[in-house]
Structures are given as C-alpha cells and as structure tokens.
Amino acid sequence: MQASGSQSRSGRLGVGIVGAGRVGPVLGAALAGAGHAIVGVNAVSAASRERAQDMLPGVPLLETPELLERSELVLLAVPDDQLPGLVEGLAAVGAWQPGQLVVHTAPGLGVGVLRPALASGAIPLAIHPAMAFTGTRLDLARMAETYFAVTAPAPVQPIGQALVVEMGGEPVLVAEEDRAAYGEAIATAASFSRRIVEQATGMLAELGFEQPGAYLSSLVRSTVDEALRKAGMAPPLDLSEIEGNE
C-alpha cells in the first residue's frame, strides 16, 4: 500500500487519528517519527486540540468523515465505551474504505468490535500499549521499554507487529478470545497501583510529610521492579544503573 501526500515515502502510510486524549497524539508522533504522514487528527475539546497541536504541530484538525477519506491507516484512540458506537456510526454513513487499516487501542476489546468496518473491506487491528500515558513527549521515550498487545486476523498480524516496532515498542500477540482477560489484567495492575500509592502518600501527608510522593518514589519503584523480577517479567536488578536513575 502506498501512502498519499508528498511527504510520504514508498511503503509509508497516511495516518488519521480519531481522538486526541493522552494516547492518540503520542502514537501519532511515534508513527510520524517512523516516516508515516499524519494527515489529520480529530479533536473535540479545547484541551485535546491543544494536545494535538503540541504533539503533532502543523497537522490539520479534521472532522472524522473527512479524516477517514484521507487516511490509509485510521487510529481510533477513544474511550472503550465509545468505540462500538463510533465504528458502527461511521459504517452507517459509508465512511470506511476497502483496504484501509483500522487500529483501535482499547485493551479489553479485540477486532470483533471492528466488524462494521471489516464489512466495508477495512483491515482490523487491535493494538494496546501496556503503559500509563501522560500525553506528552515523555511517553515517546517510555514506549521503547513497553510491550504492545497485538490482536488481528492471522494474515494481518505481521502488519500490527511492524507498526509496534516502528513506534519503538515490543509486540506480543494476544488471541481474540483472550482479549477481555488481558484487559482485566491491565485494569487491575493500573488501578491497584494507583490506589496503593494514593493511600500511602495520603498517610504520609497526614503525618506532615511535604512531598510524600517523592519520599516513596524509590521504595515504590524498587518494590515493583523486584516483584516483576520474581514474576519472570523483568531482568535482575542492576543496582549501579538504579543509582544513576532520576
């Protein structure tokens, strides 16, 4: 597939981003860094428009139907509960195009939610980066050590894996039937970690600690690293490297 636009190179894609929360603009910036052309972004709120302009300077803000018309790869970075209605609504107005790559980032959903786009000839992929996003350029560096869950029909899996590698991540295939359980695991890790930190820092704040988050930073990071190491998910700790980290 050839990308449209004079800025694209052979084999690169014209990418449209629907949703300018913390995830979409960052992934768009990563794809742009790999040589893809970001043809437009759909952003609704003032905050999302500002974020899009910061992460994707010069990229036009477009309405979703026009965005899809221009794009060879459509990135749907919207809240999970909005995704089914969005996909179905765009199918109802004939917005999906044959051969168009459609990627969503919802952790607990596979490609089944993209069936309305598939019925129009689009190519479905579910790609979720297992990290917490800030919506800033800090995330681009963090993606270099992040695993991405890739769910797609077998013939399309290499495309999803290649996109992840281009964004700097490590692709891991997750079966369609396992996607809900995967999403639950991601939600559990994120919410539990956040609640524990909030509870502990709150207790220290009540004791008069002025910077409870900073005080617990080393403890929390080293404890989590050790737990991951014991789970076989991280390499042994290198104390010399830890001492040099911020």
Q: What is residue 143's predicted lDDT score, i.e. its pLDDT?
A: 92
What integer pLDDT is reported at residue 191 of this predicted model? 84
Can you give the pLDDT at residue 9? 41
Going by C-alpha positions, the residue among 109, 34, 102 that lies closest to residue 74 is: 102
Q: Once rounded to an integer, what is the mean pLDDT over residues 95-121?
A: 97
Closest CA to 64 of 133, 18, 112: 18
pLDDT at 26 over 80: yes
Task: Give tens-digit pLDDT for 126-153.
Answer: 999 999 999 999 999 999 889 999 999 9
CATH class in words for 14-174: alpha beta
Strands (E), the chain: 14-18, 37-42, 73-76, 101-104, 123-129, 147-151, 170-173
| This model's pTM is above 0.85 | no
Sign of the Cα torsion 171, 172, 178, 184 reads negative
pLDDT score for 233:
54
Each domain of the chain, given as residue ranges in start order, spans 14-174, 181-243
Q: What is the pLDDT of residues 160-187, one digit of tens each?
A: 999 999 999 999 999 999 999 999 999 9
Q: pLDDT tens for residues 229-246? A: 888 754 443 433 333 333
